[in-house]
Structure 1
Amino acid sequence: MNETMIQYFHWYIEEGGILWKQAEKEADYLEELGITSVWFPPAYKAAGGKHSVGYDTYDLFDLGEFDQKDTVATKYGTKEDYLNAIKALKERNIKIIVDIVLNHKGGGDELETFKVVKVDEEDRDKIISDEFDIQSYTKFNFPGRNKKYSDFEWNFTCFSGVDYAEGMDSHIYKIKSEYGDGWEEMIDDEKGNYDYLMFNDIEHRNPHVREELNHWAKWYFDQTDFDGVRLDAVKHISYEFYKEWLTMLRSNTGKNIFAVGEYWAPGRLPLLQKYIAFTEGCMSLFDSSLHHNFHNASVEGNTYDLRRIFDETLTKEDPLHSVTLVDNHDTQPLQDLEAPVETWFKPLAYAMILLRQDGYPCVFYPDLYGAHYVDKDREGNDQEIFLDKVDGIEELLKARKYHAYGEQRDFFEDANCLGWVREGDEEHSGCAVVLSNKDAYEKPMEMGERYIGKVFYDLLGRTENKVTIDENGWGTFPVPAGNVSVWIAE
């Protein structure tokens, strides 16, 4: 069966502890659509408590169980709700992918005093002050949990930098560390060294920290029996750390845990390839280059040459390490990496990730359910956002589940109209896909001898006409202007 992931949240998901319960109720629906794995948001207590999306991690061991940050439940619900949702999905053979945030911690419990230097925010290797003392919230003793599951206490030696100093301006302060004078080694020289991202930056060279994070990973697995991990902000974390951490996780669990990293570098394929090489292929990456192409194609309209859509993408160059997506919580409107794919193009983009043989597709929650929210734009003005459910998304998912199998033949000769066929296999009948970013087209394509005389119809209902495969195994498949049609045999 084809693997299909869903990112089961977005940045503005409703508060009130309902997401875990909703996932439990939706398990049958997701199975019916052919979803084989669910990527859940960070499930542990964050500095922002019940209002937080979860990326300002506070206590990794609190899955909505302890009264901390003014709440027991997280934004998504209680630990009991979370485990119930996991159980319901696993009973339907849907895998669980958990969101792992090990770059930073926020919401420390106590102030500590320690030595720092200021660094240039645009070149973090450049020191712009003498050494001096600051106070910052780097002591984490988790009083609400009272040492259950772990008695490890985090202090300033567990961090390499902070952006908060009591009584001073917000800035990046490099902590004087016994584990190295500079930042940890990165694969790129963006901002001099992009180890530091936000809050209290975890010092992965500290052996006590690594031991605790290995212990926590095994504990988390024992609690939830997860099948995969989505690794946040890997651009800002030592590549050596994740090689070790994933090796330990797979060894300690006896399970070949799937891993996908978020290394966001739109249009910079060589960086993604370099990261995969440096981490020795221990994880896949989201194909930010393909997303970049989808965004550009949707904005440029019929001037975009669709034959270039897979150029300079991980999906084309290293499909086994590519997780494909159309949008995510960082690219959605009003977020930091805002670059949404235009509504008209989304059915085309989903056809390209769901119905082709390369890459592991990930569906974004609002594209299946829709979304509505209000937030401030960069100028500080309120903006009301409506994200529509993608037209035909359920049919596209079912086409992947039942028809997108077997040999793939591409018909990419036209700049404004792409087509391909999947021949099918012993268990599945195939499909023919045609998409256009300009006019209505009719594309001749070869389905193969097994389909001679078979009648095909458009699963998406874009075209009422039917196509009969001729004596040579060919058919001429129409598509409306600026749209996609998926043809399957009656």
Structure 2
Amino acid sequence: MKYIFTLLFALALISCSDEADVKDDIQTSQEVTTPVFNTKAIGSKVMMQAFYWDVPAGGTWWNTVKGKVPAWKNAGIDAIWLPPATKAQNGPYSMGYDPFDYFDFGSYNQMGSTETRFGSLSEIQSLISTAHTNGISVIADIVINHNSGGASQANPFTGGNTWTDFQPASGLFNRSYYDFHPNDVHSGDSGSFGGYPDLCHDKQYVQDWLYNNSNSIAKYYKNVMGFDGWRFDYVKGFEPWVVKNFKNAAGGFAVGEYWDGNAATLEWWANQAEASAFDFACYYRMRDAFMGNDLTQLNGDMLLKRNSYKAVTFVANHDTDEIYNNKLLAYAYIMTHEGYPCVFYRDYEEWLDKNKMNNLIWIHNNKASGNTTYLYADNDEYVARRNGSPGLVVYINNSNSWQERWVDTNWANTVIKDYTGNSGWEPTTQGDTWVKIQAPPHGYTVWSVK
């Protein structure tokens, strides 16, 4: 996580990447009432991370995202992940990762503003309703490791004063030193982050307000605001059962930010939390492959190879963006492989060729099915096959020239084509299912039945 620390009441507590045109034959494709909508289960298509670090302040972001929703629907997005949506200590300037009042979506004048950085209560309600009308689910970013913005109070567990007196204007989930570490239950917690007051999840009171109560954060977000799923921030800071209990109390999709490149560790956390995890193992293997010019790195261990149903794959996000060379090749990888791909807002809207991104999303949603057979990898070339119906063969070429390769497919005596438009070949597979395909320099092709 990125946090910008500034001095407030003598305590530092403030938060917490020219592509050529695609050829013409490319394939594209606070009382409220929860709106009625009909969305597919999150994970069936592609997720959009609908923000980046330091999006424009001034309360305009919810309306900006709302204006993008119809086009995202047409592109094949099935869920949008929003930043932390409630009032944080840094008020109109906060990205939300320094949470103060979990029930203030921009309707209480506190922390220097009524609106959040992103907008007002009515604007986020309108955004969620518009997403649902377009068949898109909405994922809330949940920050429950730490809090920020409490007043100073004498703390008998530290022998001094701590910033742990939380009296939010919503009147919901007031907190004191008993609800943070250290307290009468624990002397400390390994999940403490950046000096922020660290919530104690073993406290029944904390559990009740997070997910047990009828007006808990989990149930209010789901039943009143209309959120459909959860992205949990900094889950290394608390035990996996917290995510499990939160998700089970309210339902919905859940994914955790367990920032670790070890696929076995990610698998362990996902199993314990009964949730998905961002596939940092895949991210780091792609970084080493595409930044280090060694596509054999893609043979490495990843969560998507261990449990594809729990893997949310990504090329960049608001915290990390290390794959700045050959980034479209990385997107070609996650859009053709198993796992649930997440697209970064700036990659899609600003930095990469949107036509090519839409093409890859279309390929993912229409061709990328079944398990994976890894066919070939060296420093410059990588080939894999998805074995579903119709399935595909992806050929990534990171060399400086066109490459050709014979590959084994699942199709006998069948005409195939490249659905990216990068190759004009339409070869016929042999009776033994083998065929020669090609890929452009620093590019990719994706082959399937014509």
Contact 1:417–1:437 under 8 Å retained in 2: yes
* Deviation of 1:230 (Å): 0.4
Q: 2:27 matched to which residue of 1?
A: none
Structure 2 distance, partners of 1:86, 1:223, is: 11
- 1:26-105 correspondence runs (5 A): 26-105=68-147
Letter in 2 for 1:297: A
- 1:366-381 correspondence runs (5 A): 366-370=346-350
- 1:332-481 correspondence runs (5 A): 332=321, 340-344=322-326, 346-356=327-337, 358-370=338-350, 387-388=351-352, 392-406=356-370, 408-422=372-386, 425=389, 430-439=391-400, 440-449=402-411, 452=414, 454=415, 456=417, 458-463=418-423, 465-472=424-431, 473-481=433-441
Residue of structure 1 aligned with 2:206, choices 202, 209, 223: 209
Consecutive unaligned residues in structure 2, runs of 5 or more: 1-39
- 1:159-308 correspondence runs (5 A): 159-160=180-181, 175=182, 177-183=183-189, 193-214=190-211, 215-250=216-251, 257-266=252-261, 268-277=262-271, 279=272, 281-301=273-293, 304=294, 306-308=295-297
Contact 1:347–1:390 under 8 Å retained in 2: no
Structure 1 distance, partners of 2:165, 2:73, is: 44
- Give the TM-score normalised by structure 2: 0.83
How large is the Cα RMSD of the aligned pairs? 2.3
Q: Residues 198, 353 of structure 1: CA spacing in aligned structure 2 closer, same or farther, 3 A cutoff?
A: farther
Contact 1:290–1:310 under 8 Å retained in 2: no
Query: Which structure has the higher relative contact order (CA within 8 Å, separation 6+)?
Result: 2
- 1:308-327 correspondence runs (5 A): 308-327=297-316
* Deviation of 1:62 (Å): 0.4
Structure 2 distance, partners of 1:389, 1:13, is: 21
Instruction: Give a deviation string over 1:283-322, Cα, whole Å, max 9, x none.
Output: 1111111111111222212xx1x23314121111222211
Letter in 2 for 1:113: A
SS in 2 for 1:476: strand
Contact 2:373–2:386 under 8 Å retained in 1: yes
Q: 2:445 matched to which residue of 1?
A: 485
SS in 1 for 2:316: coil
Contact 1:467–1:475 under 8 Å retained in 2: no
Contact 1:99–1:230 under 8 Å retained in 2: yes
SS in 1 for 2:318: coil
* Deviation of 1:49 (Å): 1.0
Q: Residues 140, 451 of structure 1: CA spacing in aligned structure 2 closer, same or farther, 3 A cutoff?
A: farther
**Overall identity of the aligned pairs, in %:** 27
* Deviation of 1:74 (Å): 1.2
Structure 2 distance, partners of 1:248, 1:369, is: 35
SS in 2 for 1:71: coil
Residue of structure 2 aligned with 1:157, choices 178, 186, 201: 178
Contact 2:46–2:79 under 8 Å retained in 1: yes
Structure 1 distance, partners of 2:425, 2:103, is: 57
* Deviation of 1:243 (Å): 2.9
* Deviation of 1:459 (Å): 3.7
SS in 2 for 1:298: helix
Q: Residues 103, 292 of structure 1: CA spacing in aligned structure 2 closer, same or farther, 3 A cutoff?
A: same
- Give the TM-score normalised by structure 1: 0.76
Q: Residues 489, 207 of structure 1: CA spacing in aligned structure 2 closer, same or farther, 3 A cutoff?
A: same
Contact 1:44–1:64 under 8 Å retained in 2: yes
* Deviation of 1:434 (Å): 0.9
* Deviation of 1:489 (Å): 5.2
Letter in 1 for 2:179: C
Letter in 2 for 1:261: G
Aligned residue pair count: 402
Contact 2:91–2:116 under 8 Å retained in 1: yes
Consecutive unaligned residues in structure 1, runs of 5 or more: 118-132, 161-174, 184-192, 251-256, 333-339, 371-386
Q: Residues 432, 312 of structure 1: CA spacing in aligned structure 2 closer, same or farther, 3 A cutoff?
A: closer
Structure 1 distance, partners of 2:111, 2:263, is: 40
Structure having the higher strand fraction is 1
